[in-house]
Structure 1
Amino acid sequence: MKIMISTFGTHGDVQPFLALGQGLHTAGHTVAVCTSASYRPTIEALGLTYAPMSNTLLDLTQALLRGGAEAYGALPQIFPAMRAMLEEEWQAAQSFAPDLLVYHPKMLGSYHLAEKLGISLAMALPLPFYTPTRAFPNPFLAWLRLGGWANWASFRLMGLTSAMYRGMTNRFRTATLGLPPLRSFANLLVTRAGHPIPVLYPYSPHLLPVPADFPPHVHVTGTWFLEPTTPWVPPAPLATFLEAGPPPVYVGFGSMGGYGGLRRAVIVLEALKLAGQRGVLARGWGGLVPATLPETVFALDEAPHDWLFPQTAAVVHHGGSGTTAAGLRAGRPTIICPYVADQPFWGRVVAERGLGPPPIPQHRFTAERLAAAIRVAVSDQGMRERAAALGVQIRAEDGVGPAVALLEREQARHRASQRA
């Protein structure tokens, strides 16, 4: 089977899809990944085909997250870059000619390409955003305390957000694909024939149990972790730092918050000092670039989470789904300092499960609050035991395996319907 995976975004958005591609390739399928050009070396190192897409929109996204004048200059370029990305995905699909398309919903062209090519498709997202349930509100409304029907209704409200791009996608449908336009609030979770599109949610059901009202075409598979092809060797200064004292606290905010990074770094250093803990700071897009560092803190550009997190006492981060999963897989208490989107949701889930202190939103991010949370995370024995137990469960999961089997069944069903 030829499968094209289309995804866009930061490392956390893309890596789970690379893990899926890795699993599909191991199962004997031919896999192409269509995403920003900066990920090409990683894709090809996994033995997968790279389906070209420019880096323009990703570069603009980085500029927006850095804030200031750079963000202001990037804003007018966003929609033209999105329109170009639609065309690039179409070119990639024509060249690769897949039998099945698996896509992140940020890839606005995928639904329409599958219709044009007459192929099956499945949507994947490590967040239960698109399936209404009474169990919890839509993750982008995590601060609300609703219940029952109101939780369910919140998903319908957020589901209307795709309508803001309908003019762009309709022009793509008509001018490029030769398809009829869709109405403004058309349901993109069903095919034009009315069949529900399979939805794969690659997060751990041990962290967030599957709601009883999820329909049969929605699958919580377990997290898709990319398995390293070669052992990672840390630079000597990092190895020396880790060996020189007790496990440090990891602090990193991924792609979030480049603007104001120095202020955050000062807060983090003060919090570690107040809590009496050593620390590892990951610079990333988050801009944690302190002018000077005490001997008790090490700053790094990057290190694989699956290697680093098991060597820490706790992890502090923004609450992206990938970083959250990696910290919990390592069995470490988690302190989430959310910015936007799904991050407050994962912060709430972690705290309610007793796997970390209550989240600290960025507008409440102070050295005193962070220090207090760190003290709890490293000293609360019950919290540490719960995090360790969940880590054992997550490490025992095979999220990719069930996803591969589901996609194989979907393609078999599609072929049978084509023959009927």
Structure 2
Amino acid sequence: MAAIGSRGDIAPLTGLAAGLRDAGHEVTVAGHAVFADLITECGLTFREMPTNLDIDMTDPNVDREKAVRQFASPNGVRATGNGLIEALRDEPADVLLLGQLTEFAGFPLAEAKGIPAVGVRFQPMSATAAHPPAAMGARSFGPRGNRFAADAGAWLADRVLGGVVSGFRRDLGLPDVPVRTLRHRRTAAEWLVLHGYSPTVSPRPADWRPGLEVTGYWWPPRPRDWTPPAELLDFLASGPPPVFVGFGSLVNTAEHGAHMSELVAAALREAGVRGIVQAGWLQLDVREDDILTVGDVPHDWLFPRMAAVVHHCGAGTTAAGLLAGVPAVGVPLYSDQPFWAERLRALGVSPATIPYPKLTASSLAAAIRAATGDPAMRALAGEVAARIAEENGVATAVRALENHLGATATAS
């Protein structure tokens, strides 16, 4: 299993990996060094995937916006793809599970190893009339426009990164085949893509081809030795349930992080609620009597203890908030975040979406008051949580993968 990205791109894969392990499979997870503890603390085998880029995302002084652009550039994809190949080229395997950002190097590697590749995604990206690809936001372009948006996005990716993929193939001793031809071959073969999100939250489109499966969420296992800090327990016991505020892996400058810390503190004060602020990659830091700043705390433990959750609507954080059964305020910025924010609104568990660039203390305070002051919304959030809890995304994904591998072995 190979994954590149932020914590939200890695953590759910640990849930799927643990499920495969518990079903009797040997699982190796390749990722960047910053996620080694996240993976090994779940009892999983880790292989470091060199970034081959001079970037330390744990450094509070790093230019994070520049770093993200560097990762997404052709040179960045080439560098991280070479790291993937270096990590897994000699690893014995029957199948290679690929997060979306690892497909560019992962497909050639699987072909060179003579094994199938299976996609693992946390948002709907394949063409459908129902909506545009999640990474393009929440606005519908109509049935034809939605499908065109997906096709155009795939064409653009092939256009920009085709040379990089050809380089991987050359390095692995594979024949030179145009990337568009390779994409059409995979689609014609109905290659398997497992989507690790809830069909309650985003139903599988009726016009998707066979092989595109929506399994339900893959809940990350809690680190084996984790216990809640005494300071956090004392804070929770000292008053009514607080409101969580966190923006996950959103990146910016240290100065912006300081500005956002002040904004969040002002919003919580204006709303008249206690707060728990997660530092995240913005390095938020709020120090007040009724506000506690925390580092990494498992969301499955923390969120059910909240009055509401304010977050950037990354797929994993959205999932945790939904399972906790608490109202949410979405503050999305880019990629699939606006899509999930709209799903929260459509489900009736969020009173407002505030685009991150338009966030103010007053707008956030008003949304927090709406989220915490509506018992009907809280009840509806509980109903949605109950439906999600009945799903077993890991078991469904494991079964689909085993059936696929069985069919592949029989065909060959």
Pair in the same fold by TM > 0.5:
yes
Aligned to 1:358: 352
Is the contact made by 1:38 and 1:55 (CA closer than 8 Å) also made in structure 2?
Answer: no
Aligned to 2:135: 140
Give the whole-Å Cα distance in 2 for the aligned partners of 1:395 and 1:88.
37
The secondary structure found in structure 2 opposite 1:325 is helix
Is the contact made by 1:251 and 1:280 (CA closer than 8 Å) also made in structure 2?
Answer: yes
Distance change in 2, residues 1:78/1:135 (3 Å) = closer
Give the whole-Å Cα distance in 2 for the aligned partners of 1:399 and 1:72.
33
Is the contact made by 2:56 and 2:62 (CA closer than 8 Å) also made in structure 1?
Answer: no
Aligned to 1:390: 384
Is the contact made by 2:55 and 2:67 (CA closer than 8 Å) also made in structure 1?
Answer: no
Would you say 1:199 and 2:176 are equivalent positions? no
Aligned to 2:261: 265
Q: TM-score, normalised by structure 1?
A: 0.91
Aligned to 1:409: 403
Aligned equivalent of 2:177, options 168, 174, 182? 182
Aligned to 1:96: 91
Would you say 1:304 and 2:295 are equivalent positions? no
1:3-402 correspondence to structure 2 within 5 Å? 5-57=1-53, 59=55, 67=63, 71=66, 75=70, 79-107=74-102, 108-129=104-125, 131-163=126-158, 164-174=160-170, 176-188=171-183, 190-191=185-186, 194-228=188-222, 230=224, 232-259=226-253, 260-290=256-286, 293-402=287-396
Give the whole-Å Cα distance in 1 for the aligned partners of 2:83 and 2:70.
21
Give the whole-Å Cα distance in 2 for the aligned partners of 1:296 and 1:307.
20
Is the contact made by 1:252 and 1:286 (CA closer than 8 Å) also made in structure 2?
Answer: no
Give the whole-Å Cα distance in 2 for the aligned partners of 1:415 and 1:77.
35
Identical aligned residues as a percent = 34
Give the whole-Å Cα distance in 1 for the aligned partners of 2:184 and 2:34.
30
Distance change in 2, residues 1:71/1:180 (3 Å) = same
CA apart distance, 1:258: 3.3
Deviations 1:60-98 (A, max 9, x none): 566799648x83898499655533332332233332221
Deviations 1:6-47 (A, max 9, x none): 111111100111111100000001111111122223333433
Give the whole-Å Cα distance in 2 for the aligned partners of 1:182 and 1:72.
31
Deviations 1:308-358 (A, max 9, x none): 101000000111000000011101111111111111111111112211022
Give the whole-Å Cα distance in 1 for the aligned partners of 2:54 and 2:120.
20
Is the contact made by 2:217 and 2:319 (CA closer than 8 Å) also made in structure 1?
Answer: yes
Give the whole-Å Cα distance in 1 for the aligned partners of 2:223 and 2:81.
32
Q: TM-score, normalised by structure 2?
A: 0.92
Given residue 195 of structure 2, which amino acid in structure 1 is its aligned partner?
A: Y
Gaps of 5+ in 2: none
Given residue 263 of structure 2, which amino acid in structure 1 is its aligned partner?
A: I
Distance change in 2, residues 1:120/1:64 (3 Å) = farther
Distance change in 2, residues 1:128/1:62 (3 Å) = farther
Distance change in 2, residues 1:77/1:415 (3 Å) = closer
Given residue 150 of structure 1, which amino acid in structure 2 is its aligned partner?
A: G
Is the contact made by 1:111 and 1:188 (CA closer than 8 Å) also made in structure 2?
Answer: no
CA apart distance, 1:223: 0.6
Distance change in 2, residues 1:402/1:241 (3 Å) = same
CA apart distance, 1:213: 1.3
Give the whole-Å Cα distance in 2 for the aligned partners of 1:29 and 1:394.
26
Distance change in 2, residues 1:99/1:75 (3 Å) = closer
The secondary structure found in structure 1 opposite 2:221 is coil
Aligned length: 408
Instruction: Give the CA RMSD over aligned residues.
Output: 2.4
Decide which moves more: 235-244 or 380-389: 380-389
